[in-house]
Amino acid sequence: MNGRREFLRRTLAGGAAVAGTAACPSAHARGNAEIPPEAIGLLFDSTLCIGCKACVAACKAANDLPLDYNSPVDALWDMPLDTTARTYNVIKAWQSGTGTQRNQQTDGYAFMKSSCLHCIDPSCVSACPVSAMTKDPATGIVQYDADACIGCRYCVAACPFGIPKYDYDSPTGRIGKCELCRHLLPEGKYAACAEVCPTGATLFGKVSALKAEAHRRLALQEGAPTTWPRGNLDTADQPAWEGPAPRYVQHVYGEKEVGGTQMLKLAAVPFEQLGHKPLPERSFSSQSETLQHTLYGGLVLPLAVLGVMSWVARRNVKHDDETDSQDAHAGEKRHD
């Protein structure tokens, strides 16, 4: 028994030693990915959203998406409760108590947009084994290639926001998610949800400009008259919306969560109450890839597995040898 333990100890120690000497840069911890300088995205301001859902209808039209029913009984209405493979964008309502005070925590109500946040270091891209999910190096848009997809749904499991959805009704199986209307960009257009928003609650533009706009709003004094850009922040293609500044939660959601996202969000109600759980600043992609590189860099995992298999094999061989020896010894006694 002591011999077996010593064998296992030496095997694992030897594997660790080899891994240590064979360590390479790929085994080092990977930090969060950097955002492309010209990345584009959205700024959603919950305090400006009136729940009209014009963005939901515009998204359907721009992406040629079919109606999405909650159940066969509701087949007269396209009213999905959440994003699906056929609905890329929804507006959800939050209510507290009587729900009579807009953007207030007590007896209040508010709206929140749910769609792809286009992570700077996306977990779905890291998890996809066939590169059906990719991140555009120029725009930063997380895009999907249905022709490359094998329907494994790893992206669905990997996303910390639960955005990619699998279409179980599709004969070939496919994923549905917002791609920021990238098919409209060559035409000089932009995300349909931002284009139709009447109050500027959803605003399109370069992420750097959107981030500056978000912090401008956070610095406003509550009740101060201000203007809100609408449509495309970079081109100012629509007249501004005017109104008093609300009391914002002093946090730009998406600025740092899981390495940052290209959709930024503002609200007057804590994000946890609006369905946005706290997330670490380090991306899940960097954590998982660092673990993978650590295990496989320097052959750590293969050596450990080989060591365990060798120990098991040696134990079984030794057990057989002992059995044979015992049988032979018993035979000699019977012969005597």
Residue 285 domain-assigned (yes or no):
no
Residue 44 shares a structural domain with residue 170 = yes
Residue 211 domain-assigned (yes or no):
no
Residue 239: both structure tokens together: 């007249």
Residue 297 domain-assigned (yes or no):
yes
Residue 262 shares a structural domain with residue 326 = no
User: What integer pLDDT is reported at residue 309 of this predicted model?
Assistant: 75
Q: The CATH number of the domain where 264 resides is what?
A: 3.30.70.20
Question: How confident is the prediction along the chain (336 residues), in pLDDT tens digits per residue?
Answer: 555 545 444 444 444 434 444 444 444 678 999 999 999 999 999 999 999 999 999 999 999 998 887 766 666 677 788 999 999 999 999 999 999 999 999 999 999 999 999 999 999 999 999 999 999 999 999 999 999 999 999 999 999 999 999 999 888 889 999 999 999 999 999 999 999 999 999 999 999 999 999 999 999 999 999 999 999 999 999 999 999 999 999 999 999 999 999 999 999 999 999 999 999 999 999 887 765 555 555 555 566 666 677 776 777 765 555 555 555 555 555 555
Residue 210 domain-assigned (yes or no):
no
Phi and psi at 92, nearest 5°, equal -105, 145
Residue 75 domain-assigned (yes or no):
yes
Residue 300 shares a structural domain with residue 179 = no
Q: How many domains does the chain have?
A: 2
User: What integer pLDDT is reported at residue 130 of this predicted model?
Assistant: 96
Residue 96 domain-assigned (yes or no):
yes
Residue 304 shares a structural domain with residue 230 = no
The structure tokens 């301001």 sit at 45
- In terms of Cα–Cα distance, which of 86, 103, 85 is closest to 94? 103
Residue 146 shares a structural domain with residue 271 = yes
Residue 265 shares a structural domain with residue 297 = no
Residue 124 shares a structural domain with residue 150 = yes
Q: How does strand 165-167 pair with strand 174-176?
A: antiparallel
User: What integer pLDDT is reported at residue 22 of this predicted model?
Assistant: 42
Task: Give the predicted TM-score (pTM) of the model.
Answer: 0.79
Residue 254: exposure state from Cβ atoms within 10 A (0-12, 13-18, ≥19): buried
Residues in the chain: 336
Residue 216 domain-assigned (yes or no):
no
Residue 48 shares a structural domain with residue 120 = yes
User: What integer pLDDT is reported at residue 299 of this predicted model?
Assistant: 54
Q: How far is CA 9 from CA 18, 24, 28, 120, in A?
A: 14, 25, 26, 43
What angle (nearest 5°) sits at the alpha carbon of residue 221, between those of residues 219 and 226?
90
Residue 266 shares a structural domain with residue 321 = no
Cβ(70)–Cβ(81) under 8 Å?
yes
Read off the amino acid at residue 193.
Answer: C
User: What integer pLDDT is reported at residue 310 of this predicted model?
Assistant: 72
Average pLDDT, the chain: 86
Q: For the residues of 269-335, what is the DSSP string, one character each?
A: S-TTTTT-----SS-HHHHHHHHHHHHHGGGHHHHHHHHHHHHHHHHHHHHHHHHHHHHHHHHHHHH
Residue 17 shares a structural domain with residue 125 = no
Residue 123 shares a structural domain with residue 267 = yes
Residue 49 shares a structural domain with residue 92 = yes
Residue 289: both structure tokens together: 């890839």
- What is the distance between the alpha carbons of residues 258 and 155, in angstroms, rounded to a whole number? 15
- What is the distance between the alpha carbons of residues 50 and 170, in angstroms, rounded to a whole number? 34
Residue 19 domain-assigned (yes or no):
yes
Task: Tell me which residue range forms the domain holding 266.
Answer: 40-204+223-243+252-280
Residue 134: both structure tokens together: 């990719």
R_g (Cα) of the chain, nearest Å:
28
